[in-house]
Amino acid sequence: MKKGVLLLLISCLGLLSGAQELTQRKTFRIGLLANLYMDSSFTKQTYRFNNQMPRHLLPGLDFTEGALMAFDTIHVPDNLVRVYVYDIRSAGQTIAELRSKGVFDSLDLIIGAVSGTDYRQLADVAVQYRVPFLSATFPNDGGVVNNPFTIVLNPTLPVHCKAIYNYLLTTEATANIIYLHKKGTQEDRLAGYFEKYNMNAAGKPLLKWKTVTVKDSVSGTQLLPLLDSTKTNFIIAGSLDERFALQTLTSLSQLKGYPMKIMGMPTWETIKELNHSPLKELTVYYSTAFYNTATPPFENFSKKFTDLTFGRPSDLAFKGYETAINFVNLLVKHKEQFLSQLNDASFNQFTNFVIRPVISASTGKPDYYENKRIYIVKKQHGSTLKVSDQ
The domains found in the chain, sorted by start residue, are: 2-155+293-353 (3.40.50.2300), 157-288+376-389 (3.40.50.2300)
The DSSP output letter for 20 is T
Report d(CA 114, CA 383) in Å as an integer.
Answer: 31
pLDDT band of residue 50 (cuts 50, 70, 90) is low
SS3 316: helix
What does the mean pLDDT of the chain come to?
89
Q: Higher-confidence residue: 119 or 311?
A: 119
Percent of the residues in the chain that have a pLDDT greater than 90, as a whole number: 74
Report d(CA 175, CA 260) in Å as an integer.
Answer: 10
pLDDT digits (tens, 9 = 90+) for 102-127: 999 999 999 999 999 999 999 999 99
pLDDT digits (tens, 9 = 90+) for 313-363: 999 999 999 999 999 999 999 999 999 999 999 999 988 899 999 999 999
Report d(CA 302, CA 305) in Å as an integer.
Answer: 5
State residue 117 phi and psi, 5-degree precision.
-60, -35
pLDDT digits (tens, 9 = 90+) for 153-179: 999 999 999 999 999 999 999 999 999
Report d(CA 86, CA 64) in Å as an integer.
Answer: 10
pLDDT digits (tens, 9 = 90+) for 211-256: 999 888 888 888 999 999 999 999 999 999 999 999 999 999 999 9
pLDDT band of residue 5 (cuts 50, 70, 90) is very low
**Highest-confidence segment of 54-58, 61-65, 382-386:** 61-65
Instruction: State yes or no: pLDDT of 385 exceeds 50.
Output: yes
Least confident of 7-11, 51-55, 119-123, 310-314: 7-11
Instruction: Annotate 250-304 with DSSP letters as a single string.
Output: HHHHT--SS-EEEE--GGGGG-GGGGSTTGGGS-EEEEES------HHHHHHHHH
Compute CA 231 distance to the chain's CA centroid, rounded to the nearest angstrom.
35
Q: Higher-confidence residue: 326 or 53?
A: 326
Q: What is the pLDDT of residue 20?
A: 41
Instruction: State yes or no: pLDDT of 18 exceeds 80.
Output: no
Query: How does 290-322 read in b/e, with b if 16+ C-beta sit within 10 Å?
Result: bbbbeeeebeebbeebeebbebebbbbbbbbbb
Q: What is the pLDDT of residue 93?
A: 93
pLDDT band of residue 53 (cuts 50, 70, 90) is low
The residues pairing with 386 across neighbouring beta strands, listed in sequence order, are 377
Report d(CA 1, CA 242) in Å as an integer.
Answer: 28
Cα Rg, the chain, nearest whole Å: 23
Q: Tell me the mean pLDDT in the region 39-50.
A: 57
Q: Higher-confidence residue: 78 or 356?
A: 356
SS3 334: helix
Instruction: State yes or no: pLDDT of 6 exceeds 90.
Output: no
Q: What is the pTM of this model?
A: 0.90
- The answer, yes or no, to whether the previous bond of 366 is cis (omega within 30 of 0) is no
Least confident of 31-40, 263-272, 308-317: 31-40
Instruction: State yes or no: pLDDT of 207 exceeds 80.
Output: yes
pLDDT band of residue 133 (cuts 50, 70, 90) is very high
Instruction: State yes or no: pLDDT of 43 exceeds 60.
Output: no
Least confident of 14-18, 42-46, 77-81, 279-283: 14-18
Q: What is the pLDDT of residue 10?
A: 38
Residue of 296, 329, 292, 327 whose CA lies nearest to 313: 292
Beta 260-263 vs 150-152: how paired, if at all? unpaired
pLDDT band of residue 24 (cuts 50, 70, 90) is low
Q: What is the pLDDT of residue 292?
A: 78
Tell me which amino acid residue 159 is.
V
Q: Higher-confidence residue: 51 or 23?
A: 51
Q: Tell me the mean pLDDT in the region 285-313.
A: 89
Tell me which amino acid residue 78 is.
D
pLDDT band of residue 47 (cuts 50, 70, 90) is low
